[in-house]
Chain A
Amino acid sequence: MSSVTSLRSNRTLRIVLIAVVAILLLVAPLVLPVFANQTLVRIGVYAVAVLGLNIVMGYTGQVNLGQIFFVGLGAYVTAYGVNHGWNIVVVFAAACVIAGIVGLLVALAAARLGGLAIAMVTIALPIVGVPLAKRLDEFTGGSQGISARFSDAPDWSRLYSDQWQFYIVLLVTAAAFLLARNLVRGKYGRAFGVVRENEAVAASMGVSPYRTKVLAFTVASIFGGASGFLYLAAVQYTSPETLSFGHSISLVAAMVIGGAGSIAGSLIGGAYYVFVPQLTNAIDPSFTTASQGAILLAVLFLLPEGLVSLPRVVRRLTRRRSKRPAPGNSPQTAPARSPVTEAAPEGLQKTERGKIGHEG
């Protein structure tokens, strides 16, 4: 093990590093230009949405193409609450709870379906959601959308609006990531992982695949609701276009590119979701769709575990190159006779599984 890792594992250094990162994040909005703050705010919004998607898709392996519906739902609930003068905390709670309840109801039915039928059913959420949003125009403002101004900086804070919004988003995003990390590290996280590997095996281990999938879906939709709240904090307006189906696909792409099954990967996914359109916008807008498709495929081929695994992959490559033995036959280390090779599972020995990666 190289000397660097032993140093890093030293506890005091890690605390210092965290404090530095925290201070940086807190001071940033005060020094950064307006547009940078606004971009970071948007990254926070979509990082939380991707995080929710990661819980149900990255960790539990259920393809969910309806996550944007819950973001839209959260935004509409928030707009309704703000325009009716509810207290902000109540509004946030309502956005999460209502999205969670709807997610639970959908999951109770969808989780009965095996494998890919879930992907095909969750597609219905945004597809039905848009006309529904237009139909309920007394709540949603119909196709003209609805604006709700609540995230302008209050006078006592003597901050600019974009700074105030930055802190709201920072607070909720940090809490969401903390919650998700503990959830995934705990027994639920293990349950998610087992259900992802093989539902039949999970059942034999006393983990009910059905209940685990429903839990994963519900948590994902709660995060979606929270992301909807942040969306409204950032944009202060929402319309049926917010939950259009195309965004669901971009969210899935962002999750995979950031790093499926990884908490930190969701943050990168949120950044990807916001930055790539700005990038292709600058080059040539007609490339936008094609380049997003190409990037997703490239990541799936070259870096299945997403950008979050880049440092690990780079280190693995550099270590392999630095420790290559003298040329000749493969290292004659004593063959670790693992029983697996003999009684390989049915048919052929399992070939390398190009599966969505899974970080601890």
Chain B
Amino acid sequence: MTLLELSGVTASYGPVQVLEGVELSVPEGGSVGILGANGAGKTTTLRAISGTVRTGGRIRFEGRDIRGFRPDRVAALGIAHVPEGRGTLGQLSVRENLMVGAYLRKDRRSIPADIEYCLDLFPQLQDRVASRAASLSGGEQQMLAVARAFMAKPKLLLLDEASLGLAPSTSKTVYEAIRRLRLDSGIAMLVVEQNANLAFSLVDTATVLETGRNVLTGSSDELRGMDEIRRAYLGG
């Protein structure tokens, strides 16, 4: 059963039309990538889903149309959005950031265990757990953002360019941890990423956007095959 389905989705910032009609679907427990050059509408697509930009067309999640829902209502349905720039709550401690992630959860008792799991998933956060999130490095903040999203026990994780501004080695460790997270929890993922290789290490299928429209969709292997032809375009 498809968990999330976008059909004919348009979006605009004021007069500027960014998405022209995006088609996308994420199966239960599946992991889909969104690739494309800078400005193709990747981030805007995630924002369309999480209700933080004016959208047209249809967005169905678990069979229900959620277009126009407010961000906190979308989150309540089980969609966790790790925004571009990580959305760190700077003045709160790392632990407090994680607890905010679990705000909606009813099963309060199992939250401490999940926090331990996150700290184990991202060991670098372990010794910084009490310090203020604003003092963390870029990589650490990215890990914290992913961990915080996981704390909500979502059905679908929207991941927006997790590698942005990180050193290659840090990006690699972050993506390994996310892959492990996916294996352990089976959470469905929609991953926006410029770095195609990092994306393919995580997603089963992917779609390529250009000027707000799908131009290519296929499994990771098919796309990787075409990769040589599109190398300049996708940026190796």
Tell me which of A330, A331, A339, A343 has the highest count of chain B C-beta atoms within 10 A of its own C-beta: A343
Does A21 belong to the interface (CB within 8 Å)?
no
Does B154 belong to the interface (CB within 8 Å)?
no
**CB-contacts of B97-143 with A (<8 A):** none
B40 contacts across to A, CB distance below 8 A: 342
Nearest Cβ in chain A — how far from B133, in angstroms?
A: 13
Q: Is the CB of B16 within 8 A of A339?
A: no
Q: Is the CB of B15 within 8 A of A331?
A: yes
The interface-forming segment of A120-128, A295-303, A344-352 is: A344-352
Nearest Cβ in chain B — how far from A337, in angstroms?
A: 6
B13 contacts across to A, CB distance below 8 A: 341, 349
Docked Cα-Cα span, A335 to B40, in Å, equals 12
Q: Which of B16, B38, B43, B211 contacts A338 (CB 8 A)?
A: B16
Q: Bin chain A's interface residue count.
A: 10 to 19
With A348-B52, A349-B52, A349-B53 as contacts: A341 and B18 at CB distance below 8 Å = yes
Q: Is the CB of B86 within 8 A of A346?
A: yes
**CB-contacts of A304-360 with B (<8 A):** 330-333, 335-339, 341-349
Docked Cα-Cα span, A343 to B165, in Å, equals 12
With A344-B84, A346-B87, A348-B52 as contacts: A339 and B38 at CB distance below 8 Å = yes
Q: Is the CB of A344 within 8 A of B43?
A: yes
Q: Is the CB of B87 within 8 A of A341?
A: no
Nearest Cβ in chain A — how far from B116, in angstroms?
A: 28
Chain A proximity mask over B16-60: 1 for CB below 8 Å, otherwise 0: 111000000000000000000011111110010000110000000
The majority secondary structure among interface residues of chain B is loop
Nearest Cβ in chain B — how far from A342, in angstroms?
A: 4
B168 contacts across to A, CB distance below 8 A: none
Does B235 belong to the interface (CB within 8 Å)?
no
Closest to A338 in B: B16
A349 contacts across to B, CB distance below 8 A: 13, 47, 52-53
Closest to B211 in A: A337
Docked Cα-Cα span, A61 to B41, in Å, equals 35
Docked Cα-Cα span, A330 to B11, in Å, equals 12
Chain B proximity mask over A114-136: 1 for CB below 8 Å, otherwise 0: 00000000000000000000000
Docked Cα-Cα span, A333 to B16, in Å, equals 9
With A347-B87, A349-B53 as contacts: A342 and B43 at CB distance below 8 Å = yes
Q: Is the CB of B17 within 8 A of A335?
A: yes
With A347-B85, A349-B53 as contacts: A342 and B38 at CB distance below 8 Å = yes
Q: Is the CB of A336 within 8 A of B43?
A: no
Q: Is the CB of A337 within 8 A of B15?
A: no
Tell me which of A338, A346, A348 has the highest count of chain B C-beta atoms within 10 A of its own C-beta: A348
Nearest Cβ in chain B — how far from A148, in angstroms?
A: 53
Q: Is the CB of A345 within 8 A of B85?
A: yes
**CB-contacts of B57-86 with A (<8 A):** 83-86
Q: Is the CB of A335 within 8 A of B43?
A: no
Sample of 20 more A-B contacts, CB < 8 Å, known A342-B42, A346-B83, A346-B84: A330-B15, A331-B15, A333-B15, A335-B12, A336-B16, A337-B16, A337-B39, A337-B211, A338-B16, A339-B38, A339-B39, A341-B39, A342-B38, A342-B44, A343-B43, A346-B85, A347-B85, A348-B83, A349-B13, A349-B53
Q: What are some 14 contacts across the A-B interface (CB < 8 A)?
A: A330-B15, A330-B17, A333-B15, A335-B18, A337-B18, A339-B38, A341-B13, A343-B43, A343-B84, A347-B83, A347-B85, A347-B87, A348-B52, A348-B83
